[in-house]
Amino acid sequence: MAKSEQTVVVRVGGEAGEGTITLGDLFTRIAARVGLEVYTFRTYPSEIKGGQVLVQVRLGVERVLSEGDEADVMVVMNEQGWTDNREDLRLQGVLIYDPAVLEHPNTRGRDSYEIPAGEIAKSFDWLRGKNLVMVGALTWLFRLGLDAARDVVRERMGRHADVLPQNLRALEEGYTYAREHYPDTFPYTLSLPETPEERLLLSGAEALALGALEAGCRFYAGYPITPATGVMETMAKYLPAFGGTLVQAEDEIAAISMIIGGSFGGLRSMTATSGPGLSLMVESLGLASIAEIPIVIINVQRAGPSTGLPTKTSQGDLFLSLYGGHGDAPRFVLAPDSVKDCYYQMINAFSLAEYFQTPVIVLSDQAMASRLETIPYPESLCGVWSECLERRLPTEKELAGDYRRYRDSKNGISPMAIPGMKGGMYLAESLEHNAYGHPSQAPDNHEYMMRKRAKKVEAARKRLVNWESSARRWGVKGAKFGIMGWGSTRGAVREAMELFKEKGIEIEALYPHSLLPMPDRAIWEFIYGKKSILVPEVNFSSQFARMIEHRYYKQLDAGDIHIHMLARERGTPLKVSEIYEAAIEMVVAEGGK
């Protein structure tokens, strides 16, 4: 390969409503079909039509760690697509463009390829297909194979059977034009594997939904909200085949109320939303907590406050998820750090919810939910990453005697009867209640029940010690410098760590998947002996860093450990270069080399 080692970053820029997202999606799927590893990022305007769209696809011969920073290849479908993105095209990069919409671009000496996509599509009266023309051209340039491209177009666009022939012709015309005009080897062609490994190509939203189905979710209620709608669409596609039920609620308050009812009735139940929706759910979240009813809520975060940037990514809902609500309402908060991890953390979420009879919030974000990534097929599920836990039901003996639904226990868990169990009738009350579920305002009883519910968080913290997936740690063990983050920033951190390794800089990273309860032992072991720790996150106020400072101030003070904050709230993911440079500044500031 001429100008790159193992990966190529392709960025597509163009107008919303003209098939730019489809162009990027089809190209990604064709590359995955022929055996390349892929990792994508997309950002789009909140308007229904109009505004600029960006799709970034990173292709690799081996596993790809992030979407990459600068583009090796830039495909622009209009003039603004070039002006908005040209500064991110590498000096050795390549521009691919339609000369009808971009005349004589100043590429500063970079190679460029003209593909008259609009003219070609118009020649057979299918102007809508100019994006398919460009897909065909890319298929030839990257030598991905026309048969694979045809198969992907049929699969993804076959539901529009009346126009499928035109779309296939557009693909083939673009392929033929590029082959005839650019027969030489493209400088960024990757070597395709002779026998590709069998892998899955999933978005984060799809992985969340499939993990929930594997975990036994059989009732979903939700209200469509960007960028969480992909979870609901996937559940709508597959849940009926599992004998489950999906309801599109009239709003988020109705959605969480429905899943509380579904779980009370014995079904594993879930909803998905984004920050504004979670804000509306807060009161009912408290109901699930005080009534000790297990539910799972996925929060696909987007940039706020209020409507904010509704189609852009963020990690700004951490404080809302951890502390949102009136009174002390225990809940668990999990944060998957990759598409693959979305699948497994959903299994963990239902295990924790059901066993501890406590709400669980799973924090994803727009970048991860919409990202397409090649991942291996899941391993055998329970017992590999954690364990599958079940709801504690009362025994016949307990039901035949003095059944107290909210009886206290060593770990705060009390057996939960399902409607229809003989002797299991009880009141699930939003008011404070006694062990029988009867409302009680007695001060001693309130303190007693608050302590009972809080016990479950500490019991979960102890149990999570033995879960491999409660935290991920890598790098130079015992290094004086560390990086500690959460969620979707892990990919960029992994890649930055590879750069540190190349330069001989010793650094270690830790990513907890459980943010409430925090895996204290893993974090204590990680921070021991450190000089300083960098905390990267996609929000404005360094929420996770503040949380670390607050919870571990004794350990930090005792070791004179400094927290360095890297917080960016721009609606886009952190770049590898940003993390690398911030870590270098940390090392230099602490007198390291």
- What's phi and psi for 34, nearest 5 deg? -90, 10
Looking at the structure, tell me whether residues 115 and 97 fall in a common domain: yes
Looking at the structure, tell me whether residues 438 and 298 fall in a common domain: no
Looking at the structure, tell me whether residues 16 and 158 fall in a common domain: yes
* Domain final residue, candidates 342, 376, 410: 376
Looking at the structure, tell me whether residues 415 and 329 fall in a common domain: no
Which residue, among 61, 1, 52, has the nearest Cα to 32 in the 3D structure?
61
Looking at the structure, tell me whether residues 164 and 222 fall in a common domain: no
| Distinct helix (H) and strand (E) counts, the chain | 20, 20
Q: Is residue 326 domain-resident?
A: yes
Q: Say which amino acid occupies 463.
A: R
pTM: 0.95
Q: Is residue 117 domain-resident?
A: yes
Q: Is residue 339 domain-resident?
A: yes
Q: How many CB atoms lie within 10 A of CB 181?
A: 13
- What's phi and psi for 568, nearest 5 deg? -135, 125
Can you give the pLDDT at residue 465?
82
Q: Is residue 536 domain-resident?
A: yes
What torsion, rounded to 10 degrees, do the Cα atoms 223, 227, 229, 231 define?
-120
Can you give the pLDDT at residue 2?
37
Q: Is residue 197 domain-resident?
A: no
Can you give the pLDDT at residue 4?
43
Q: How many domains does the chain divide into?
A: 4
Contacts of 581 (CB under 8 A, 6+ apart): none
Can you tell me the distance from the alpha carbon of 12 to that of 561, in angstroms, rounded to the nearest whole number?
Answer: 43
Q: Is residue 460 domain-resident?
A: yes
The tens-digit pLDDT sequence of the chain (593 residues) is 334 468 999 999 999 888 999 999 999 999 999 999 999 999 988 776 678 999 999 999 999 999 999 999 999 999 999 999 999 999 999 999 999 999 989 999 899 999 999 999 999 999 999 999 999 999 999 999 999 999 999 999 999 899 999 999 999 999 999 999 999 999 999 999 888 888 999 999 999 999 999 999 999 999 999 999 999 999 999 999 999 999 999 999 999 999 999 999 999 999 999 999 999 999 999 999 999 999 999 999 999 999 999 999 999 999 999 999 999 999 999 999 999 999 999 999 999 999 999 999 999 999 999 999 999 988 756 644 567 889 999 999 999 989 999 999 999 999 999 999 999 999 999 999 999 999 999 999 999 999 999 999 999 999 888 777 789 999 999 999 999 999 999 999 999 999 999 999 999 999 999 999 999 999 999 999 999 999 999 999 999 999 999 999 999 999 999 999 999 999 999 999 999 999 999 999 987 65
CATH of the domain at 210: 3.40.50.970
Can you give the pLDDT at residue 212?
97
User: Is 337 in contact with 472 (CB distance < 8 Å)?
Assistant: yes
User: Is 17 in contact with 49 (CB distance < 8 Å)?
Assistant: yes
Looking at the structure, tell me whether residues 143 and 75 fall in a common domain: yes
Report residue 265 as tokens: 């009735």
Contacts of 320 (CB under 8 A, 6+ apart): 275, 278, 279, 282
Looking at the structure, tell me whether residues 411 and 349 fall in a common domain: no
First-to-last alpha carbon distance for the chain, in angstroms, is 34
Q: Are strands 481-484 and 508-512 parallel, antiparallel or unpaired?
A: parallel
Can you give the pLDDT at residue 382?
61
Which residue, among 259, 224, 203, has the nearest Cα to 211 in the 3D structure?
203
Looking at the structure, tell me whether residues 176 and 300 fall in a common domain: no
User: Reduced to 3 states, what is the DSSP secondary structure of residue 584?
Assistant: helix
Q: Is residue 1 domain-resident?
A: no
Can you tell me the distance from the alpha carbon of 81 to that of 74, in angstroms, rounded to the nearest whole number?
Answer: 9
Please report, for residues 100, 130, 292, 475, the alpha-carbon distance to residue 78 in angstroms, rounded to integers and kept in the order given.
9, 12, 54, 43
The alpha helices in 265-338, defined as continuous H runs, are 275-290, 318-323
CATH of the domain at 518: 3.40.50.920
Question: Mind spelling out the 3-state secondary structure of 392-452?
Answer: CCCCHHHHHCCCCCCCCCCCCCCCCCCCCCCCCCCCCCCCCECCCCCECCCHHHHHHHHHH
Mind listing the pLDDT tens digit for each residue in 207-238?
A: 999 999 999 999 999 999 999 999 999 999 99
CATH of the domain at 88: 3.40.920.10
Looking at the structure, tell me whether residues 480 and 430 fall in a common domain: no
Mind listing the pLDDT tens digit for each residue in 278-300?
A: 999 999 999 999 999 999 999 99
Q: Is residue 388 domain-resident?
A: no
Looking at the structure, tell me whether residues 478 and 457 fall in a common domain: no
Domain of 526, in residue numbers: 470-589
User: DSSP for 468-501?
Assistant: GGGEEEEESTT-SEEEE--GGGHHHHHHHHHHHH
User: Is 209 in contact with 234 (CB distance < 8 Å)?
Assistant: yes
Can you tell me the distance from the alpha carbon of 576 to that of 574, in angstroms, rounded to the nearest whole number?
Answer: 7
* Domain final residue, candidates 464, 479, 503: 464
Looking at the structure, tell me whether residues 151 and 21 fall in a common domain: yes
Can you give the pLDDT at residue 377?
87
* Domain final residue, candidates 464, 492, 510: 464
> Phi-psi bin for 19: left (phi > 0), alpha (psi -120 to 50), beta?
left
Looking at the structure, tell me whether residues 460 and 478 fall in a common domain: no
